[in-house]
Amino acid sequence: MKRADSIVLAGQSNAVGYSKVNCLPKHFPAERIQKWRDGYENVKINYFSHYKRSNGFVPTTLGCTMLEDETLGPEVGMAEALNEKYPGRDFFIVKFAFGGVNLNHDFLSPSGEENGAPHTGGEVFSHDYSKGAPAQAGWCWNELVKILSESIASLESEGYAPAVRAFCWVQGESDAVYEEPTAKYLCHYDAFLHDLKARFAGYMDGCKFIDAGISIFWERYMRINEIKRSYAAGHADCAYIDTIDAGIVTTKEPYDAPDLGHYDSDCEIRLGRLFADAMGDL
């Protein structure tokens, strides 16, 4: 049985990808952009972001993000780097990301705590986003579990043996806005990873958990980033990407009115490549 090397990409808006495709030509040659637009047949993605789903694995391309605008997420640079390092080798990205969600409520996992009480939302849909239903605690956790479970089942039905080789986390901005979510971020993140490993035991052996720092735009960014950095330093299966030191910024695009909450287009590509580098040898 052939192993299916799988990568999970999850988080909020900078995982969704709000960076504008029409800004890419200022940074990259047309040939490279066209390659991203054509996509990577050997690096496929199953994604759910806002109102847009792939409903199964498709080639990783620009636009695996939202319906409103043509944007790009970290998966593009990730796919490019993986294809360069392992030409023609098959990879499967599973992406669940929504803008504005937090770990304190939306991604709260079963052993996490909301207002002092354990979350017991189960593993079913808890939020009908399309109908504007109120978001229950843990709805993003539930959706992440669902799309990853469906992806694993789909790969197994095709004769693959899925193995999650990396979990890439782009989140923390919303938690940095208020004091309580910031104060609880460490315990919620620890619970989240514990529950994820337990739920997908047998599929995550040897998985690398890679956490990207947040930008200076967010009020408590230093505290959130220090939590991320310290947690990675204390866990052998974790890694931290210092996005600030790496020059990943939000300050230049769109050119007429920079979107300070979201990474510039070239930085989104670079973030994906940093994730691929942090995975090490696969």
pLDDT at residue 125 in the model: 40
Query: Binning pLDDT at 50, 70 and 90, where does residue 177 land?
Result: very high
Whether the pLDDT of residue 134 is over 60: the answer is no
Whether the pLDDT of residue 189 is over 90: the answer is yes
Average pLDDT, the chain: 92
Whether the pLDDT of residue 128 is over 60: the answer is no
Sorted by sequence, the CB contacts under 8 Å of residue 150 that are 6+ apart come out as 46
pLDDT at residue 124 in the model: 36
Residue ranges and CATH numbers for the domains of the chain are 2-278 (3.40.50.1110)
pLDDT per position as a tens digit, 22-53: 999 999 999 999 999 999 999 999 999 988 99
Whether the pLDDT of residue 66 is over 80: the answer is yes
pLDDT at residue 1 in the model: 82
Residue-wise DSSP of the chain: -EEEEEEEEEESHHHH--EEGGGGGGTS-HHHHHHHHH-EEEEEEEEEETTEE-SS-EEE-TT-S-SSS-EE-THHHHHHHHHHHSTT--EEEEEEE-TT--TTTTT--TTSEETTEE----SS----GGGTPPPPTTHHHHHHHHHHHHHHHHHHHTTEEEEEEEEEEE--TTGGGSHHHHHHHHHHHHHHHHHHHHHTTTT-TT-EEEEEPPPTTSTTHHHHHHHHHHHHHT-TTEEEE-TTTTT--SSS-STTS--TTS--HHHHHHHHHHHHHHT---
pLDDT at residue 69 in the model: 78
Whether the pLDDT of residue 210 is over 60: the answer is yes
Q: What's the CA angle centered on 127, arms 196 and 17, to 5 degrees?
A: 70
pLDDT at residue 122 in the model: 43
pLDDT at residue 126 in the model: 44
Whether the pLDDT of residue 57 is over 60: the answer is yes
pLDDT per position as a tens digit, 78-126: 999 999 999 999 999 999 999 999 999 999 998 887 654 455 444 334 4
Segment 210-215 mean pLDDT: 98
Query: Binning pLDDT at 50, 70 and 90, where does residue 135 land?
Result: low
Query: Binning pLDDT at 50, 70 and 90, where does residue 146 land?
Result: very high
pLDDT per position as a tens digit, 225-273: 999 999 999 999 999 999 999 999 999 999 889 999 999 999 999 999 9
Whether the pLDDT of residue 164 is over 50: the answer is yes
